[in-house]
Structure 1
Amino acid sequence: MAFLMDDDAFEDAVSRALDDIPSRLRDVMDNVVIFIENRYEPGPDEDPDTVLLGLYDGVPLTERGMDWGEVAMPDRIFIYQEPILEMCESEEEVVDEVAITVVHEVAHHFGIDDATLHELGWG
């Protein structure tokens, strides 16, 4: 059964997860914005049943060249509220899943792929 949590409490969980990222990493996050959305909407070429908890959309720091400039659009990290709430049964589970999802997507910003995240126990 899905856990019911209001939008403000969910946003607070995301903020706390971001605050828990070590400052030495937060300080080098560059040109990235975090969004909370209700649900991922698959594109026309994707499986319509695709369910994501989070998504990183951008160019990882490890792939940016010397010509990466200030005119680049910000990278975007999306955290999808509804599927996280649907898989959790308590506030503690929501907070834990949000933290895992935030770390996972921030790791992509730093160029860490899914396979490495799984090896590190984050997948």
Structure 2
Amino acid sequence: MQFNHPPSLEDIQSMAETAFSALPEALRDAVRGAAILVEDLPDEETLEAMELQHPWELTGLYRGVPLTDKTHFSVPAEPDTILLYREPILVEWIETGEDLFRLVRNVLIHEIGHHFGFSDEEIGRLENDG
């Protein structure tokens, strides 16, 4: 995918949707209730909670209760959400030269991995399967 301008929120959302639709069906079905959103940057509250100094340090975030911590009696306070942050993704894209679609896909998979409570090693294997 070639861009003559910085990719928009909609461009990143489209890439995330394409990446999501290419995931194995069992994985898609298990995470189907989570919203996948794209925002420009994490908010100040998120940065403070994660003890980050700069918003470009965070490319994605999973908000919710990992499946490993849920019970049949759990009542979520809010829906599970996977957030992708456009500007930090674009900064990483520029700095690394990695394919933008692959980068968006890997951030999405990383955050889905958090939904499942996967280890970093398990998440790395998922990222490399594509």
Whether the TM-score (by the shorter chain) exceeds 0.5 is: yes
| Structure 1 alignment gaps of length 5 or more | none
Q: Is the 8 A contact 2:109 2:126 kept in 1?
A: no
Q: Which runs of structure 1 show a deviation greater than 4 angstroms over 4 or more consecutive aligned residues? A: none
- 2:79 is matched with which residue: 53, 67, 74? 74
Secondary structure, aligned partner of 2:62: strand
**Map 1:1-123 → 2, pairs under 5 A:** 4-29=6-31, 31-41=33-43, 42-43=47-48, 46-49=51-54, 51-69=57-75, 72-89=77-94, 93-118=99-124, 120=125, 122=127
Q: Report the AA paired with residue 102 of structure 1.
A: L
Is the helix fraction higher in 1 or 2?
2
Q: Is the 8 A contact 2:9 2:40 kept in 1?
A: no
Residues 116 and 30 of structure 1: is their aligned pair in 2 closer, same or farther, counting only changes over 3 Å? same
1:40-66 Cα offsets, whole Å, 9 max, x none, are: 231267232251110111111111112
Q: Is the 8 A contact 2:39 2:84 kept in 1?
A: yes
Count, aligned residues: 119
Q: Report the AA paired with residue 58 of structure 1.
A: G
Q: Report the AA paired with residue 109 of structure 1.
A: H
TM-score, scaled relative to structure 2: 0.76
Q: Distance in 1 between matches of 2:68 and 2:126?
A: 21
After superposition, the CA RMSD in angstroms is 2.8
Shift of 1:115: 4.8
Taking every aligned residue pair, what percent have the same amino acid on both sides?
30
